[in-house]
Amino acid sequence: MKIGVFICYCGENIGRTVDCAKVAEVCATLSGVVHSEAYKYMCSDPGQNLIKQAIKEKNLDAVVVGSCSPHMHEKTFRKAVSSAGINPFMVEIANLREHCSWIHDDIPSATHKAIDLIRIAVEKVKFNEPLTTIRVPVTKRALVIGGGISGIQSALDIANAGFEVVLVEKEPSIGGHMSQLSETFPTLDCSQCILTPRMVEVYQHPKIKLYSFSEIENVQGFVGNFKVTIKKKARYIKDEVCTGCGLCVQKCPIKKNALNEFEEGLATRPAVYVPFPQAVPNIPVIDSTICTYFKTGKCQMCKKVCGRDAIDFEQKDQLITVDVGAIIAATGYKLYTIDKKPDNSIYKGYGEYGYGKYKNVVNGLQFERIASASGPTSGEILRPSDHKEPKKIVFIQCVGSRDESKGFSYCSKICCMYTAKHAMLYKHKVHDGEAYVFYMDIRSGGKMYEEFVRRAIEEDGVKYIRGRVSKIYEENGKLIVKGEDTIAGMKVEIDADMVVLATAMIAQQEAPRLSQLLGIPYDKHGYMQEVHPKLRPVETASAGVFLAGACHSPRDIPESVAMASAAAAKSLVLFGSDVLEREPVVAKVNETNCAGCFYCQKVCAYNAIETKEVRDKMGNLIKTIAYVNSGLCQGCGTCNAVCPSKSVELIGFKDDQLFAEINALSDFYYQ
Amino acid sequence: MEFGYYPGCSLSGTAKEFDKSLKAVLKVLDVNLLEIQNWSCCGASSAHVTNHLLSVALPVRNIIEAKKQGLNEIVAPCAACYNRLVSAQHEMKLDEKLRTKIEDLVEEKYQGSAEVYNLIQLFQKTGLEEIKSKKKADLSDIKVACYYGCLLVRPHSLANFDDAEDPVSMEEIVTATGAKPLDWNFKTECCGAAHSIAHKDIVLKLSKNILDDAIRNGADVIVTACPMCHSNLDMRQWSIVRSDKDFKSIPVLYLSQLIGLALGLNKKELGIDLHFISVDPVLAKVKEEAVA
């Protein structure tokens, strides 16, 4: 076999600590190597041309490139050799950057190590075989999980491109947190006015199938071919016959037994309810935990008044299976609960701010409801305890966010802006009121964002105090806010009528479970992880699974919408072709040797091991053996490791290739 | 149960009643305290603001002594001692260079850290059930403001047995005694601590804030686990009365004294007669436990 070795300087990245010229020189003497050279940027066009030229001139059979991680440029080099007539899988990459130059500083030893890495790759490539990519069909239908603004945007984009979308929302209505907001920064558009037309569009779109009040039960399969089980929770109302007239809601005798989730606990709701007037779908849900019928077997008032006979107390959760080719996770965020006992959370409480203890200490979403024209106070700024207009109001930013002592390392990003908006809305409605904002820094990066904050300070006279609040307590009906003005170097005490806490955004509680179902990593806060923070921000480690919105990290509406469209575009890229090509790095069973013990099946994390019957010419069953579904196999190699008869091998990482690498490493070659 | 005991200067002097009540209570609870032989000052109040090396060396010397005597679990009832012992051990663990320097200074090898417990942790260890089952008196009429002060639950990274800003562990112990802990605002506010000596005016102001809030919320007694807090809150009330005629004083007890009352110990045994502000109004509310 004739092997060519190509060493990349990667500008200074490798060249600074590895003597690339010397590596090339030494590697030229390795057995099998007929060509060896170093070049400043091997991934560049001239660099690739060097490879192509050498292949043609020296008739190479295989190529070893010493460069950056194969994650970066393996595909580039495979393409290059392929265009010169060699099978693309006859390329091996020795990672001289991440595994060598970046982590060492001593030039001679780094150079020594680089040579070792090349030697290993050369020995491996001698056992490489030409492979062909696997082709799998694509189901041109997308699943969008979460019906907030991100999910809505993704669903509409994909549907408008002509492909089917299945949209799953766990709440009774789509709309998410955006439907709860009063106005939006920095334009002060009414949130519902811009959102509800989109919600209706989703509902009426012929290409979108909406499952509200539903959750993801299971996800199987792989890119282009996912099989998803959706649990449609019992609503106790037949959604196909209900007209949304609302009579059941009006007549329900249980009036005030549950806190209204949509109003963030500032109002109550009956046992049968629609979350808010513009809900989509406009179909009520019966809350079986408080409904009299479910508790005592009596009442049935809703059933009696329903003219369509839509009430069905016997309804059960329903499992629905759908086939999709791409999945977009858009599950959003929730607000950090700041009362005393956070449920086995990594975050600590904020008891010192008295949330949950004092009625007039509210969080940001509660203030949105208070300021909203459709909210419990019809948009008048009235405090919860006695419905009086607060004349002095304190807003506290970074409650949780950036507070390591409470378990948060990150910035929630939207609070500086929405606090400025809250203070502004307050000043617009309570002209003689005083508004104070305690802040750490004002982070107002974004189009017209800084201008918006300046407007709050300069035009609306909101008083910004740089410093933290140590404690809030009630004294003579006032909330005493004790804090520090770090610019003046003074202690501050404000006797406020109401306090609004900008609490941190946190991941949904179910996000880790969903991430596990989707096979994607998540961070310690439960936020889902993208595959590359800069260049692949919406893709995940699971091919065909994309992220949109705040399930990835705290973000505001414009960013969520942009990300949602990006995720939709990525799904559409998949749907652009009828078949997908996959790397052939999958396990393969040696059918002669396999004894059918199925150890491999037990350890396979991807359910990729199936059974296959081997029969003789007469059709008699000889044995039942393992068979790898190459669509499902992720090439992890676990089956390979456990097989007692060594009958499973991982293509591209066969035993003889790995042993060749180990032997090469143990060879005493260079001093 | 057995623990090493580091009394520190307060419990062998100004806070004798703390020492006395703790020992009396632990005797009833069947807990043995072995005083560290040859213990010395922990450096609290002054060392950590004057000489960093000294502020670590002094506590470490005591830890080394304790370990030599086979004491791996140490009770430090004084909140300042507790804070210094825990902080010094933490620094020794993190900083190898400092460790060598300190070892040179105390002329002994550091054998690793010991478990150090403050009063709250001690009673968490010995068990709240134990207190409940040995209860002899009914304190249910006594409303208690639990006062932690600044040191007992801080810094949060070291004293992470409770929330540093909104602690509740003392309330749990008080509940076990049968007394009624109150919700009030100044549990962790500063009393002025060692400024008591150089800037009495600051302490008067800060302590008055705390006392006022406890009184406003209807407390019969303030309970603390720190000798410094106790002396500021108890002793300074006389000066506060002098400047504010309307001020009504409120007794201040150590947590160990309140537990002692629940266990049926008397005023003398608990050193309650040694306070500046009379505790009699509280004692009048102690009822005989009704026999079930």
A351, A405, A475 member nearest B166 (Cβ): A351
- B166:A473 CB<8 A: no
C-alpha–C-alpha distance, residues A619 and A621, integer Å: 6
- B183:A352 CB<8 A: no
**Lowest-confidence range among A102-106, A605-609, A638-642?**
A605-609
Residue A669 has pLDDT above 80, yes or no: no
* Angle value at C-alpha B141, between B140 and B145, nearest 5 degrees: 90
B156, B165, B213 member nearest A351 (Cβ): B165
- B185:A405 CB<8 A: no
pLDDT of residue A341: 58
Q: Once rounded to an integer, what is the mean pLDDT over residues A123-147?
A: 95
Residue A104 has pLDDT above 50, yes or no: yes
Residue A621 has pLDDT above 80, yes or no: yes
A29-55 residue pLDDT tens: 999 999 999 999 999 999 999 999 999
Q: Once rounded to an integer, what is the mean pLDDT over residues A296-304?
A: 92
- A475:B185 CB<8 A: yes
A551-570 residue pLDDT tens: 999 999 999 999 999 999 99
- B166:A357 CB<8 A: no
Residue B45 has pLDDT above 80, yes or no: no
- Residues of chain B neighbouring A348 (CB-CB closer than 8 A): 163
Domains of chain A, by residue range, sit at 3-133+661-666, 134-225+323-332+539-579, 234-316, 333-506, 587-650
C-alpha–C-alpha distance, residues A362 and A379, integer Å: 16
Burial of A327 (0-12, 13-18, 19+ CB in 10 A): buried
Most confident of A320-329, A397-406, B133-142: A320-329
C-alpha–C-alpha distance, residues B25 and B6, integer Å: 17
State how far residue B31 is from chain A, nearest Cα, in angstroms.
Answer: 32
Q: Nearest chain A residue to B156 by CA: give it.
A: A405
Query: Higher-confidence residue: A136 or B123?
Result: B123
Residue A318 has pLDDT above 70, yes or no: yes
A352, A474, A475 member nearest B166 (Cβ): A352
- A351:B183 CB<8 A: no
Contacts of A396 (CB under 8 A, 6+ apart): A353, A437, A438, A469, A481, A499, A500, A501, A502
A349, A474, A475 member nearest B166 (Cβ): A349
- Does the beta carbon of B205 lie under 8 angstroms from any beta carbon of chain A? no
Characterise A576 by phi-psi region: left (phi > 0), alpha (psi -120 to 50), beta (else): alpha
Top residue of A345, A361, A471 to mutate, by most chain B CBs within 10 Å, is A471
Q: Nearest chain A residue to B157 by CA: give it.
A: A405
pLDDT of residue B66: 94
- Does the beta carbon of A341 lie under 8 angstroms from any beta carbon of chain B? no
- Does the beta carbon of B163 lie under 8 angstroms from any beta carbon of chain A? yes
Q: Tell me the pTM.
A: 0.83
Residue A606 pLDDT level (bands cut at 50, 70, 90): confident
pLDDT of residue B112: 85
State how far residue A480 is from chain B, nearest Cα, in angstroms.
Answer: 10
Which of A99, A90, A92, A110 shows the shortest CA–CA distance to A68? Answer: A99
B229-249 residue pLDDT tens: 999 999 999 999 998 888 989
B21-35 residue pLDDT tens: 999 999 999 999 999
Top residue of B163, B170, B202 to mutate, by most chain A CBs within 10 Å, is B163
- Is domain A333-506 annotated with CATH 3.40.50.2000? no
Which of B197, B168, B229 shows the shortest CA–CA distance to A357? Answer: B168
Measured in degrees and rounded to the nearest 5, phi and psi for residue A224 equal 85, -20
In total, chain A counts a number of residues equal to: 671
pLDDT of residue A670: 46
Q: How far is CA B48 from the centre of its chain?
A: 20
pLDDT of residue A671: 40
Q: Once rounded to an integer, what is the mean pLDDT over residues A390-397?
A: 98
Specify the 3-state DSSP secondary structure of A469. strand
Q: pLDDT over 90 for what percent of chain A?
A: 89
- Does the beta carbon of A400 lie under 8 angstroms from any beta carbon of chain B? no
| Residue position matching structure tokens 């032989």 | B37
- Does the beta carbon of B246 lie under 8 angstroms from any beta carbon of chain A? no
ipTM over 0.90: no
B209-230 residue pLDDT tens: 999 999 999 999 999 999 999 9
Q: How far is CA A433 from the centre of its chain?
A: 41
Q: pLDDT over 70 for what percent of chain B?
A: 99
State how far residue A309 is from chain B, nearest Cα, in angstroms.
Answer: 52
For the segment(s) A587-650, the CATH number from 3.40.50.300, 3.20.20.105, 1.10.10.350, 3.30.70.20 is: 3.30.70.20
- Is domain A3-133+661-666 annotated with CATH 3.40.50? yes
* Kind and range of the H or E run holding B258: helix B255-262
Residue B291 has pLDDT above 70, yes or no: no
pLDDT of residue A340: 58
- Does the beta carbon of A476 lie under 8 angstroms from any beta carbon of chain B? no
- Does the beta carbon of B165 lie under 8 angstroms from any beta carbon of chain A? yes
| Residue position matching structure tokens 């309330």 | B171
Q: Nearest chain A residue to B155 by CA: give it.
A: A405
| A-B contacts (CB, under 8 Å) | 27
Top residue of A396, A470, A473 to mutate, by most chain B CBs within 10 Å, is A473
Mean confidence (pLDDT) of chain B? 92
Contacts of A311 (CB under 8 A, 6+ apart): A236, A237, A238, A248, A286, A300, A302, A303
Residue A624 has pLDDT above 70, yes or no: yes
- Is domain A234-316 annotated with CATH 3.30.70? yes
A498-517 residue pLDDT tens: 999 999 999 999 999 999 99
- Does the beta carbon of A349 lie under 8 angstroms from any beta carbon of chain B? yes
Q: Once rounded to an integer, what is the mean pLDDT over residues B57-81?
A: 94
Q: Once rounded to an integer, what is the mean pLDDT over residues A107-130?
A: 96
- Residues of chain A neighbouring B202 (CB-CB closer than 8 A): none
pLDDT of residue B288: 81
Q: Once rounded to an integer, what is the mean pLDDT over residues B32-44?
A: 93
pLDDT of residue A668: 54
C-alpha–C-alpha distance, residues B226 and A371, integer Å: 47
Same topology, domains A3-133+661-666 and A333-506? Answer is: no
Domains and CATH numbers, chain B: 2-119 (1.20.1050.140), 135-288 (3.40.50.11810)
Characterise A329 by phi-psi region: left (phi > 0), alpha (psi -120 to 50), beta (else): beta
pLDDT of residue B243: 87
List C-alpha distances in Å: A43 to A39, A63, A74, A118, A153.
10, 14, 10, 17, 37
- Token digits for B117? 């417990």
Residue A351 pLDDT level (bands cut at 50, 70, 90): confident
Q: How many CB atoms lie within 10 A of CB A606?
A: 17
- Does the beta carbon of B216 lie under 8 angstroms from any beta carbon of chain A? yes
- Does the beta carbon of A491 lie under 8 angstroms from any beta carbon of chain B? no
C-alpha–C-alpha distance, residues B111 and B92, integer Å: 11
CB-based burial, A158-173: b 16+ in 10 Å, e otherwise: bbebebbbbbbbbbbb
For the segment(s) A134-225+323-332+539-579, the CATH number from 3.50.50.60, 3.20.20.60, 3.40.50.720, 2.60.120.260 is: 3.50.50.60
Strands A392-399, A505-507: pairing kind: unpaired
